[in-house]
Amino acid sequence: MRTTLTATLAAAAAIPLAFLAAAPATAAPGDISAVFTTTPNPGGSNTVTGTFTATGDLFVPYYCIMYDADAFDANGNYLLDANAYGDPKPSITLTDTDVPDGTYTIDWVCYLASGGYDGTTGSLPQQQGYGAPSTLVVPAVVPEEPEPGCTGSVCLPTGSFGF
């Protein structure tokens, strides 16, 4: 009786450890942080950059997408749209180099090397607990004022003047 009880207890104690070892890792909201920046281009548009970084060592992105689902050009293309696919790495940077000025609501999703994903509720509408889209204001690009005209060593001042 005693050896049967000991064997039963040992087997029962090993069951939770077997389940723990067999459980796959799953991603959760907040495994990836997203930061968006804008830079004016000399030609009049802007560059928008999204940087997606793993918040820990386990959930590393290998494919990310960023877009504004409500902003389209005349041809029906997203005004802000970029994606990148590559080897899993701690950080992925996406760049859209031709974004007009305006206010954008950026949805994003990153697929993780260990399985699963992280993103915003707009990209993952059937999922609960994911983040809200980010709002980014892209300013209008103001052209630089030309320097006053000079001929040789004589320069004309700007503004009004008289003789």
Asked if residues 84 and 64 have their Cβ atoms less than 8 Å apart, the reply is yes
Average pLDDT over residues 116-133: 88
Supply the mean pLDDT for the chain.
Answer: 79
Q: Residue 30 half-sphere exposure, CB side, CA atoms within 13 Å?
A: 2
pLDDT tier for residue 55 given thresholds of 50, 70 and 90:
very high
Alpha-carbon span 133 to 122, nearest angstrom:
7
Residue 74: is its pLDDT beyond 70? yes
pLDDT in tens, 7-31: 333 444 443 333 333 334 556 788 9
The architecture that CATH gives domain 32-138 is Sandwich (2.60)
Torsion of the alpha carbons at 151, 153, 154 and 156, rounded to the nearest 10: 70
Average pLDDT over residues 40-60: 91
pLDDT in tens, 80-109: 999 998 889 899 999 999 999 999 999 999
Domains of the chain by residue range: 32-138
Q: What is the pLDDT of residue 2?
A: 42
Residue 53: is its pLDDT beyond 60? yes
